Structure 1
Amino acid sequence: MSALAQGREAYAERRWPDAVGQFTAADHDAELPAGDLEQLATSVILTGRGSEGVDILARAHLKYLADGDYPAAARCAVWTGMNLILLGEPARSAGWLARARRIVEDLPEPCRFEGLLSVPAGLGALYQGDGDGAAAAFTRAADLGRARGDPDSAALGTLGLGQAKVLLGEIDDGLALLDEAMVAVTVGEISPVPAGIIYCAVIETCHQAFDLHRAHEWTRALDRWCDAQQKLVAFSGQCQMHRAELYRLHGAWAEALDAATAAQDLAFTGDRMATYGGFYEQGEIHRLRGDFDAAEACYLHAQDTGFPAQPGLALLRLAQGRPEQAQSLLRPAMDGVGPAYRRPMLAARVDIELAAGDALAARAAAEELAALCASIDMPMLHAFADQSQAAVLFHEGDPAAALVPLRRAWSRWLDLDAPFEAARCRALLARVCDALGDEESARLEREAARAVFSELGAAPALAGLEQSLPEAPGTRTAPAPTTVNGAHHAADAGPLTARETEVVRFVSAGLSNRNIAAELFISEKTVARHLSNIFTKLDLTSRAALTAYAYEHGLARTSRPA
């Protein structure tokens, strides 16, 4: 088999280094045809050598022009411009995009790839917070892609329109469009580079919309997509970045740190879009553990990418006992970003404003969070809103009123398998119970929070718990509350929590604790704890018995994860 044939075979099988080697060898013997040059460029880009790949794309563009294939030449020019945007070269990018537009405008017939030209304009509007402008541009891309038979344009336009709708607050419609774009990826209609772009953008948008379930699902899918490709660098760093965020939320901090480090390594190898998230997530773990100098260095590295390292850097100042500095960092950061980036900062804003003594600003942020719950019906958002409302009520001197939203927040964090946030709720519950004169409940809540903080290594939270804290100002008296300790489960969900049910499903599919941990972005220790709770609740003693229970109660998975 010739080197060219081997290169084509390797490309089809997503063996990118092999494709690069074989195509390059064939190119030394005779100049590659334009289509093979384009595939070589794609393979080089996916192995992390973006600048070199752009140069080969330019060669493919010229070869298409020489062959008289002007639509393909326009497509190459657009992707050259798009890749230059990712490489941080906007002037060169603008030149290539202008060239692509001129070629399309000079064609006597409609160009199949014209929809791609609207994608950069949509991205520009999206990053500037112009949701309406982005929606218009991406709608044009999607409509042209569908009308002219270009699945890449159609899928990227659908993705961008979904992002624009989330930005505009049309969350349900936006998320539905993201799912539609992902269908095109998962059935194999989309080219490799657009597929990676769609995966990463969908996951990021899910986090912005507080849709933890979708973020989990698509991060697992991206993980498998990356693993199925030989030595893929592009998008792999972003996958590790998203993994780190989920591991952090679920209390698997060692795993989160490993994933963040892997994201940084892949960023340096060629996936530049992972730089911010890799350093930011590493900074988050260092901050939560009390390694403040290391956290600061990570946040500053993240900030060097041009994005604000917030709310992490502001929360670091708060942890260092400098609430006014935290205030001065977070306020302008929130005022200068669009709503999609502002939303995740609101809960931190409540904590910081309360610490700085601005109760009115804290209440305004808490009310903004509560108002979002009307348009974004996501458990994670409701947990933040309830927790923030409780903190404000307690600070205002109404511990009795704080109890109800605080219990709801604790319940929601448990369902989300977020141990650190759940423990923060219990720490505040201890203070509330103290204020209400229920010393026994306060002691139990404090001990429960202490156990979680100790296990996680959350030194600052543990130190704050141990400090003697003053009673909330203007405390009102109220009857002592009943204790909120004990095993948790939703009232209508049977004996198992949502996360425990997921664990049962994976056990029934034959997965080991290690594989279940990887699927759910939690630690193996957490899986073991879930299984212990499940066995106790169901009065079972083995995985075989649990599998039988799963089949009897309709909980079994029909297949193992791919």
Structure 2
Amino acid sequence: MLGPVETKSVSPVFIGRAAELETLNDALARATGGDPQALVIGGEAGVGKTRLVEEFAAVAGRAGAVVVLGGCVEIGADGLPFAPFSTALRALRRELPEELAAAATGQEEELARLLPELGEATADRSDEEGMARLFELTARLLERVAADRTVVVALEDLHWADASTRHLLAYLFRTLRTGRLVVLATYRSDDIHRRHPLRPLLAELDRLRTVRRIELGRFNRAEVGRQIAGILATEPDPAQVDEIFERSDGNAFFVEELAVAAHEGSCTGLTDSLRDLLLVRVEGLPESAQRVARIVAEGGSTVEYRLLAAVAGLAEDDLIEALRAAVNANILIAAPGGDGYRFRHSLVREAVGDDLLPGERSRLNRRYAEALEADPTLVPADERVMRLASYWYHAHDPAKALPAVLDASVTARRRHAHSEQLRLLERAMELWDTAPEEVRATLRPVDYTEVYPPCGCDPESTPLRYLDLMAEAAVAGRLCGERERALKITKRALHLLEEEGDPLRAAWFWVQRSRLVQAQARGDGWKELGIAQELVRGLPPSEVHAEVLATAANWSMLRRPGPEAMSAAERAVEYARMVGAEDIELNARLTLGGLMVDAGHIETGLAQMYEVRDEVLARGLTAVVGRSHVNLPSILEGIGRSEEAVGILHEGLRLTQKMGLRDSEAWVWANLAESLLSLGRWDEAAEAAMSAQRAGQSAKPRGGGSNSLAHLALARGDVPEAARQLAAARASYGTHDPMPQNNLPMSYLALGTAAAEGRLLDARAEADRAMSAGFPPGTQRYAWPLLLAAAVAESDARAHALPAAQEGRAAFLERLFEAVRKLTTGAPVWLAYEKWTRAELDRAENRATPDTWSDVVTAFEALQRPYDLAQVRHRLAEALLATGGDDERARATELLRLTRATATHLRARPLADATTHLAQRARLSLTAAPPQSPADPADSLGLTTRERDVLRLVSAGRTNRQIAEELFISPKTASVHVSNILGKLGVSGRGEAAAVAHRMGLFPAETLTSGRGS
């Protein structure tokens, strides 16, 4: 009678959970419709989480979904990096081999960090975006695999998850947007104490509206009765149900154990201790089966059969007999895949493990480690190193544990599991002093560190030092976000170095502290960089020397550009070339090129940056791709070459998305928004700005997106929205690390918002603050709009006779004029802004004439800035109307029509209203009389003969240079004609102009065809 009962201890009837299963089924239906779903299932140990997932998996499988499972692995309390994802992806590869291979195409080397079967993982040096890149590529892989079929990815036992797994899961929950995909995870809620590492993730998921939480409660009495009936295959006695319900308190697993114990007649005398309840059936096994259970308990969540056999040391028949007894008693079950064994419930494993004596536990770990060293094929290749490190560590053998833990740290680093790498390195530092000296002497930095000793020593012959471990741990802490721990490590390292006299190594640690201080919002990091520079001053070239100089030059480019920054960048390039530090050299060349442009050497600097961009693309250098496609277009935008910038930014989007460079992608979106604003493509700019706010992990790109949205809101007359976005930008940038590229645009917005609300004195105060701080070289692109906005506020205040305009006005205008006089005008766009600002100052003094504004209009007609051109055309029209002549009125009418067309197209309400108001005051009609049957449709648009010729070539896809060659005019003149055409057609770009020409039938198809061949 006992045999059948033992095999039924898991109820064959699924009890309760109707509401929870309905929630999961609803998620499956939504996912099948193309809306990815994220769910988290929590509940105490034994409450039935796994059973619920199994039932849902069966339902999903019957509905045609592909279901893959992955479990977080506990080995001596150390989780394996990304273990559940590796298991799930491996299962997905078995189910959909061709589909997964196609989805991973081009990124196999990176994705091999999670799924080694895809190939050899790249050995690139870890960088700031390494983990984010892996996460992004994993998300895209799942989306592609689930594009045409429903996929369910279930991850169990999240309470054991390593930090990298938690970070990846959070990333997926935040970023999955497409695909027929369900991702669900389970965790044991009674284990989540106040300081449990899973608690912050659960709090974050609670804030995500896209994540559904399911909390499993205990069974009520009726459900317990049905569960007992299912286990015993008969209706239980009500008194027995009452007793089991009271003792189990509705916990499904305890109900099973108590029901079986009661049926066996062993319930009498059993204590209420949970441990005793869990061990009662284990202790009823034959001694050999109990011994095997103890071995399995210490081996991890799952133990492979061959490994178990090697550790148990039993004859094969005896081992199989012991396993059969444990399986028949439902203590052990075969692991998924059939290659090993695990406890049916982790609570039993924990109870058996806790029952081991300390010496017994360390002895078992030693036997596991020795067996695995003797035959590494006993466990999967991607788990081998980590498990060996855990076994030796818990065997309390420092001589064996130290190298094993260091090997595991290297594996963790290569998988971008920097949280686990940091923990392992800290464990290595703990073992360092207890490991024998002869063991430490055999260790080499080339084998265990990316950060080689910066002392010029040969890493293959120099012994590994404790400071090398500290250096590696500091970088790992920075990369995984454990910056406080990393700061403490650098502090201890620098304290040790005070007695060693190793300036290069000390300088390297000061550079790390600079980065950490900035990341922790504790300062701008310059003090630390200054110390590093002093330490390397006068030393021969080295990689550390080059890195210090390159970091200082980049810092200065963003905050204090000038001759010192350029000198540091030049020396960084030179030193990096001498020592073969490729990444440092390329980054330093990007910095140098930007500084050269800022200093007025525009073409030389751009050539330097283009060379870097081309090298990066040709050699596929992931570490520099992001920066090359952020800095170069930013510089181009700064000198008014917005169209050129947009082309590189679109290329940057393609590359950063393909490579999973999510933070770099956010910067590309932010810069794209800025360039699209300049080009008058405002709706596209708004979309790009919102993408910048969504895309990255870092705050500053979000600040750039908020800045662009605030600019757009201000231009469209939505002052409250501009103020809201300005506040968002300030929050994103913070106050600990001020940069002109952030502060000056925010000052512009604050000034513009104050002026729009009629707060002239506040606008002046904002301008005064900016002028007092000064405008370093390279800040012209931000300084000119700011000074212009101040001048516009003053000229409008005078035009509208605002009372506040008089007080302090003369002194302020003098300060403003002095700032204008000193600011650089080395690029056409800066020169145009200077003319506009001076014209506004003349208008503020009632000195502006039509000639003044004509010069400004001519300057902007050569630029691709339709909104700016419309604004200065409005000013010219105003000046012409002030003269009162008929010719001037006719010209003003045409200018105002062009201005209104642009303002209407851009939805720039303040400019449109001002144009209408000016026309009404002057009694001008901006509605052109219908032409009398024009011979040519182009006449209805007011195009001149030359403009008609240019439009024909624009419609044929010609560039300005090609137009110039065909019409025998200069490229600049062609550009002016194109700008005039865009204004007359009321469009913002060449494509729209071509569409208008096609719609009106201006140029027959044969004309365009013949034009392409000319």
Give the CA deviation at 1:233: 1.4
Please tell me the residue identity of whatever aligns with 2:690.
T
Against the structure 1 CA distance between its residues 526 and 93, is the aligned structure 2 distance closer, same or farther, given a 3 Å change threshold?
A: closer
SS for the counterpart of 2:855 is helix
Give the CA deviation at 1:446: 2.0
Against the structure 1 CA distance between its residues 61 and 40, is the aligned structure 2 distance closer, same or farther, given a 3 Å change threshold?
A: farther
Which residue of the partner structure matches residue 518 of structure 1?
none
Which residue of the partner structure matches residue 87 of structure 1?
519
Please tell me the residue identity of whatever aligns with 1:67.
D
Structure 2 Cα separation of the partners of residues 18 and 390 of structure 1: 50
Structure 2 Cα separation of the partners of residues 132 and 452 of structure 1: 42
Structure 2 Cα separation of the partners of residues 546 and 57 of structure 1: 68
SS for the counterpart of 2:705 is helix
Q: Does residue 274 of structure 1 match 2:705?
A: no
Please tell me the residue identity of whatever aligns with 2:898.
A
Percent identity (aligned): 18
Which residue of the partner structure matches residue 832 of structure 2?
383
Which residue of the partner structure matches residue 6 of structure 1?
118
Verify the 8 A CA contact 2:642 2:676 in the aligned structure 1. no
Verify the 8 A CA contact 2:595 2:778 in the aligned structure 1. no
Determine which structure has the larger strand proportion and give its number.
Answer: 2
Which residue of the partner structure matches residue 415 of structure 2?
40
Of 676, 679, 686, 1:250 maps to: 679
- 1:82-140 Cα offsets, whole Å, 9 max, x none, are 864673456898999899999999x9x97556522322222333344142221222222
Verify the 8 A CA contact 1:11 1:39 in the aligned structure 2. yes
Which residue of the partner structure matches residue 159 of structure 1?
590
SS for the counterpart of 1:234 is helix
Q: Does residue 432 of structure 1 match 2:895?
A: no
For structure 2, list consecutive stretches of 5 or more residues without a partner in the other structure: 1-89, 91-111, 125-129, 142-163, 166-379, 387-406, 430-442, 455-470, 479-511, 736-741, 799-808, 922-940, 963-985
Q: Does residue 546 of structure 1 match 2:1002?
A: no
Structure 1 Cα separation of the partners of residues 424 and 789 of structure 2: 44
Structure 2 Cα separation of the partners of residues 61 and 174 of structure 1: 47
Please tell me the residue identity of whatever aligns with 1:284.
H
Please tell me the residue identity of whatever aligns with 2:950.
L
- 1:19-62 Cα offsets, whole Å, 9 max, x none, are 77999797654246776644433xx7xxxxxx959959988999
SS for the counterpart of 2:415 is helix
Aligned residues: 499
SS for the counterpart of 2:1008 is helix
Please tell me the residue identity of whatever aligns with 2:626.
G
Structure 2 Cα separation of the partners of residues 90 and 295 of structure 1: 29
Verify the 8 A CA contact 2:593 2:609 in the aligned structure 1. yes
Which residue of the partner structure matches residue 449 of structure 1?
899
Q: Does residue 328 of structure 1 match 2:765?
A: yes
Which residue of the partner structure matches residue 294 of structure 1?
721
SS for the counterpart of 2:662 is coil
Structure 2 Cα separation of the partners of residues 61 and 501 of structure 1: 68
Please tell me the residue identity of whatever aligns with 1:540.
F
Q: Does residue 178 of structure 1 match 2:609?
A: yes
Give the CA deviation at 1:292: 1.0
Q: Does residue 339 of structure 1 match 2:777?
A: yes
Give the CA deviation at 1:453: 1.4
Please tell me the residue identity of whatever aligns with 1:40.
R
SS for the counterpart of 2:875 is helix
Please tell me the residue identity of whatever aligns with 1:301.
A
Verify the 8 A CA contact 2:385 2:411 in the aligned structure 1. no
Please tell me the residue identity of whatever aligns with 1:255.
E
Give the CA deviation at 1:237: 0.9
Verify the 8 A CA contact 1:411 1:488 in the aligned structure 2. no
Give the CA deviation at 1:5: 5.1
Structure 2 Cα separation of the partners of residues 502 and 221 of structure 1: 24
Alignment of 1:100-115 (within 5 A): 111-112=542-543, 114-115=545-546
Q: Give me the CA root mean square deviation.
A: 4.8
Which residue of the partner structure matches residue 219 of structure 1?
649
- 1:515-556 Cα offsets, whole Å, 9 max, x none, are xxxxxxxx99845532046669996334x8636523x24xxx
Of 112, 134, 149, 2:565 maps to: 134
- 1:373-398 Cα offsets, whole Å, 9 max, x none, are 3x33x3x3343233334434444334
Structure 1 Cα separation of the partners of residues 725 and 997 of structure 2: 39
SS for the counterpart of 1:339 is coil
- 1:498-521 Cα offsets, whole Å, 9 max, x none, are 994894469x9xxxxxxxxxxxxx
Verify the 8 A CA contact 2:593 2:606 in the aligned structure 1. yes
Determine which structure has the larger helix proportion and give its number.
Answer: 1
Structure 1 Cα separation of the partners of residues 412 and 758 of structure 2: 57
Give the CA deviation at 1:73: 6.3
Q: Does residue 206 of structure 1 match 2:206?
A: no
Against the structure 1 CA distance between its residues 126 and 247, is the aligned structure 2 distance closer, same or farther, given a 3 Å change threshold?
A: closer
Which residue of the partner structure matches residue 303 of structure 1?
730
Against the structure 1 CA distance between its residues 526 and 209, is the aligned structure 2 distance closer, same or farther, given a 3 Å change threshold?
A: closer
Against the structure 1 CA distance between its residues 301 and 69, is the aligned structure 2 distance closer, same or farther, given a 3 Å change threshold?
A: closer
Please tell me the residue identity of whatever aligns with 2:691.
A
Verify the 8 A CA contact 1:288 1:458 in the aligned structure 2. yes
For structure 1, list consecutive stretches of 5 or more residues without a partner in the other structure: 45-50, 472-484, 509-522, 554-562
What TM-score, normalized by structure 2, do the two folds share? 0.43
Against the structure 1 CA distance between its residues 140 and 445, is the aligned structure 2 distance closer, same or farther, given a 3 Å change threshold?
A: same
Structure 1 Cα separation of the partners of residues 1002 and 920 of structure 2: 44
Structure 2 Cα separation of the partners of residues 118 and 488 of structure 1: 57
Structure 2 Cα separation of the partners of residues 208 and 364 of structure 1: 22
Of 329, 333, 351, 2:792 maps to: 351
Against the structure 1 CA distance between its residues 331 and 183, is the aligned structure 2 distance closer, same or farther, given a 3 Å change threshold?
A: farther
Verify the 8 A CA contact 2:751 2:762 in the aligned structure 1. yes
Structure 2 Cα separation of the partners of residues 234 and 188 of structure 1: 21
Against the structure 1 CA distance between its residues 548 and 277, is the aligned structure 2 distance closer, same or farther, given a 3 Å change threshold?
A: farther
Against the structure 1 CA distance between its residues 448 and 26, is the aligned structure 2 distance closer, same or farther, given a 3 Å change threshold?
A: farther
Give the CA deviation at 1:365: 5.1
Please tell me the residue identity of whatever aligns with 2:415.
L
Give the CA deviation at 1:293: 0.9
Of 619, 624, 627, 1:188 maps to: 619
Structure 2 Cα separation of the partners of residues 429 and 112 of structure 1: 58
Structure 2 Cα separation of the partners of residues 524 and 348 of structure 1: 25
Verify the 8 A CA contact 1:158 1:177 in the aligned structure 2. yes
Of 898, 904, 912, 1:462 maps to: 912
Please tell me the residue identity of whatever aligns with 2:654.
R
Verify the 8 A CA contact 1:71 1:113 in the aligned structure 2. no
SS for the counterpart of 1:321 is coil
Q: Does residue 147 of structure 1 match 2:596?
A: no
Give the CA deviation at 1:238: 0.9
Structure 2 Cα separation of the partners of residues 29 and 162 of structure 1: 47
SS for the counterpart of 1:340 is coil
Give the CA deviation at 1:323: 2.6
Give the CA deviation at 1:353: 3.9
Please tell me the residue identity of whatever aligns with 1:30.
V
Structure 1 Cα separation of the partners of residues 835 and 915 of structure 2: 21
Verify the 8 A CA contact 1:433 1:442 in the aligned structure 2. yes
Please tell me the residue identity of whatever aligns with 2:635.
T
Structure 1 Cα separation of the partners of residues 781 and 453 of structure 2: 41
Against the structure 1 CA distance between its residues 121 and 196, is the aligned structure 2 distance closer, same or farther, given a 3 Å change threshold?
A: same
Which residue of the partner structure matches residue 409 of structure 1?
859
Please tell me the residue identity of whatever aligns with 2:795.
L
Against the structure 1 CA distance between its residues 60 and 185, is the aligned structure 2 distance closer, same or farther, given a 3 Å change threshold?
A: farther
Deviates more, 1:172-181 or 1:433-442: 172-181
Against the structure 1 CA distance between its residues 57 and 344, is the aligned structure 2 distance closer, same or farther, given a 3 Å change threshold?
A: farther
Which residue of the partner structure matches residue 480 of structure 1?
none
